[in-house]
Structure 1
Amino acid sequence: MQASNSELITPNSLIRCSWAGSDPLYQKYHDEEWGKPVYDDKILFEFLILEGAQAGLSWITILRRRENYRKAFANFEVKKVAAFDDQDVERLMNDAGIIRNKLKVNSAIINAKLFIEIQKEFGSFSNYMWHFMPGKEPLQNKIVSMSDVPARTEISDAISKDMKKRGFKFFGTTICYAFMQATGMVNDHLLDCCAR
């Protein structure tokens, strides 16, 4: 009996967005998380911390340290991170498992406090983020090649502007758009990508 086409395809031969490369960690993230809508505040807070840490670095650099960030930042419990003090900052600055940038470390704590304020104002951080989206729905972009993927949009401009006004750090429009991609507010998978 002849195998069907679907049986001949192995996970490594699937068509993926080119940025996923051949690194199994990157491929798993691409296939299972990137572009999938997230409404859970804990996961949104995790990506807020990770995207801020990524500023100026490659995403794989942060992805490889994700578990270290989870341990260093109280399993991404926003109230615990918001309560971090000078001793915690010192501990984080001595933690070789994360990016030891004092501005980024301090911004994570500031952003945690502001995250809680938004939760109080909007009922959840998810409500706040998704209210920027037309119909509160993810945008399904028609990406034919990776050169079609924008670095920012009018929506990311509006979100980052509002967040900056509220005092958030390390969340400019480019980081905001990466956050939107990571949390599925936009789907920028290639049209022929297996994870679309």
Structure 2
Amino acid sequence: MERCAWANQSETEKKYHDELWGKPLYDSKALFKMLILESQQAGLSWITILNKWEAFEDAYDHFDPDKIIHYDDAKINELMNNTGIIRNRMKIDATIHNAKMYFNVEKKYGSFSDFIWSFVDYKPIINHYQSLKEVPATTPISDKLSKALKKEGFKFLGPTTVYAFMQAVGMVNDHMDNCFCK
């Protein structure tokens, strides 16, 4: 059984690749969670996030934006002292801020999912790559979505982070053509 080469480094990566990565995700809160995890990854390797996934879930109340918008200084201090997560104050502040922006988008567009998926006409883009070297870091669509998110007030979501998010949630299918998940 062949899978994308990047996923063969550890059992954690294999499981993520096989069960989650690239599978279309339409639930608004699940999309918000993935957006936050991708923003936490900026400047780090994805395996760092995968290894801290459960700690993130616990620390951030399962990424429930209804709870995150109420985080206060005490909760921020708790997060800053939590060795199980990324303890970057700017990323923590951005997560809280982005939860507030999530609700603005929900109100303005009907759902966060509708807003996100509108950038790919509500269906995954299926790419055909033979090697990881062919996969771009950004695309015109990720550039456009990043700009739109920034316009809506979101932080820590540049085009590279947004493209990784698009791959993770199945907006684009970048599994290699020889991958069993294609």
- From 23, 39, 42, the equivalent of 2:26 is 39
Superposition misfits of 4+ residues, deviation over 3 angstroms: none
In the aligned structure 1, how far is the partner of 2:3 from the partner of 2:44?
Answer: 22
Structure 1 unmatched ranges of 5 or more: 1-13
- From 132, 153, 167, the equivalent of 2:153 is 167
User: Which SS does the other structure have where 2:9 is aligned?
Assistant: coil
- TM-score, normalising length: structure 2: 0.98
Summarize deviations over 1:86-141 as a string: whole Å, max 9, x none: 111111000000000000000000000001110111111100001111x3210000
- From 137, 143, 146, the equivalent of 2:123 is 137
1:187 lines up with 2:173 in the alignment: yes
| Backbone CA RMSD of aligned residues | 0.8
**Alignment-mate amino acid for residue 154 of structure 2:** F
Summarize deviations over 1:53-95 as a string: whole Å, max 9, x none: 0000000000110100000001111110111111111110000
CA contact (8 A) 2:61 2:68 kept: yes
Alignment of 1:64-143 (within 5 A): 64-133=51-120, 135-143=121-129
Give the C-alpha shift of residue 22 in structure 1: 3.4
In the aligned structure 2, how far is the partner of 1:189 from the partner of 1:101?
Answer: 31
In the aligned structure 1, how far is the partner of 2:119 from the partner of 2:89?
Answer: 31
- From 31, 35, 42, the equivalent of 1:55 is 42
In the aligned structure 2, how far is the partner of 1:185 from the partner of 1:175?
Answer: 14
**Alignment-mate amino acid for residue 173 of structure 1:** P
Identical-residue share of aligned pairs (%)? 50
- TM-score, normalising length: structure 1: 0.91
Give the C-alpha shift of residue 49 in structure 1: 1.2
User: Which SS does the other structure have where 1:37 is aligned?
Assistant: coil
Structure 2 unmatched ranges of 5 or more: none
In the aligned structure 1, how far is the partner of 2:128 from the partner of 2:115?
Answer: 25
